[in-house]
């Protein structure tokens, strides 16, 4: 009973923080200093794109760094299309690297990068047989830091690279409408619908995750 209450409280906090983050971000991008930043980015587009790519890759190899927030947050400066491409390419490179690092070196090397709780989370990750593909999709789409860590975990717990990369790629395609809707929201379009969609997605995948994990 206590665990159920704790989970519901965590879910409420997650929804609240998500909505608050969106509101604060929409306020921030209206400030003059952000407009100066956008101008600089447009004048140095290639340099900034490579920077985003690097941050996204690093954010996967070192999950405490929220690389996905940088790509999403860059939509006002470079558009949702380029932001999504940076996120996709960075995800492919970073996740593949993390998968093979986890497969080859296991938890011994990871202890140099992650705290003990993160290591235990990877080691204790149990995926139901026959659900590997779906589990990768759910993990990659739902979670933030844990979603990045799953790249290491998949290599450590024996998921084949083909299932891992195909599941991951599908999850990244699901991310495309998120970038698209974020772009529209920043233009002042579909804002209410977007917030409702984000909250619904959090609730849905929070409910579904038990189907794929023991």
Domain ranges of the chain: 2-211
d(CA 53, CA 60) in angstroms, rounded, equals 11
| Lookup: tokens for 81 | 């299309």
Contacts of 144 (CB under 8 A, 6+ apart): 66, 68
State the average pLDDT over residues 82-100: 91
Contact yes or no for 114/63 (Cβ under 8 A): yes
pLDDT for 142 beyond 70: no
State the average pLDDT over residues 30-40: 85
pLDDT for 167 beyond 80: yes
Residue-level pLDDT at 213: 43
Which residue from 97, 116, 111, 99 is spatially nearest to 156, judged by alpha carbons? Answer: 99
Measured CA distances, 21 to 30, 65, 139, 184, 198 (Å):
15, 17, 22, 17, 12
- The values of phi and psi at residue 193, to 5°, are -60, -40
CA angle 124, 130, 136 (to 5 degrees): 60
| Lookup: tokens for 47 | 């340099």
pLDDT for 11 beyond 50: yes
| Lookup: tokens for 204 | 């849905």
Binned at pLDDT 50, 70 and 90, residue 124 comes out as confident
d(CA 23, CA 15) in angstroms, rounded, equals 13
pTM: predicted TM-score of the whole model, two decimal places: 0.71
- The values of phi and psi at residue 113, to 5°, are -110, -30
Angle between helices 45-61 and 145-156 (to 10 degrees): 60
Residue corresponding to tokens 């790249």: 151
Q: pLDDT averaged over the chain?
A: 74
Contact yes or no for 169/138 (Cβ under 8 A): no
pLDDT for 71 beyond 80: yes
Which residue from 71, 19, 55, 31 is spatially nearest to 192, judged by alpha carbons? Answer: 19
| Lookup: tokens for 192 | 């209410």
């Amino acid at each position: 009973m206590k665990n159920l209450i704790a989970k519901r409280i965590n879910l409420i906090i997650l929804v609240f923080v998500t909505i608050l983050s969106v509101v604060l971000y929409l306020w921030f991008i209206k400030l003059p200093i952000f407009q100066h930043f956008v101008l600089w980015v447009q004048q140095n587009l290639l340099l900034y794109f490579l920077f985003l790519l690097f941050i996204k890759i690093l954010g996967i190899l070192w999950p405490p760094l929220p690389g996905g927030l940088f790509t999403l947050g860059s939509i006002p400066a470079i558009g949702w299309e380029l932001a999504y491409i940076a996120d996709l390419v960075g995800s492919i490179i970073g996740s593949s690297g993390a998968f093979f690092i986890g497969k080859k070196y296991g938890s011994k090397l990871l202890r140099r990068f992650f705290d003990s709780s993160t290591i235990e989370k990877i080691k204790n990750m149990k995926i139901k047989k026959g659900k590997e593909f779906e589990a990768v999709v759910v993990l990659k789409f739902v979670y933030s830091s844990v979603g990045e860590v799953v790249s290491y975990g998949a290599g450590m717990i024996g998921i084949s690279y083909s299932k891992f990369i195909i599941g991951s790629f599908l999850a990244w395609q699901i991310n495309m409408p998120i970038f698209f809707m974020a772009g529209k929201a920043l233009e002042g379009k579909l804002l209410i619908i977007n917030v409702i969609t984000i909250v619904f997605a959090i609730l849905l995948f929070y409910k579904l995750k038990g189907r794929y994990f023991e």
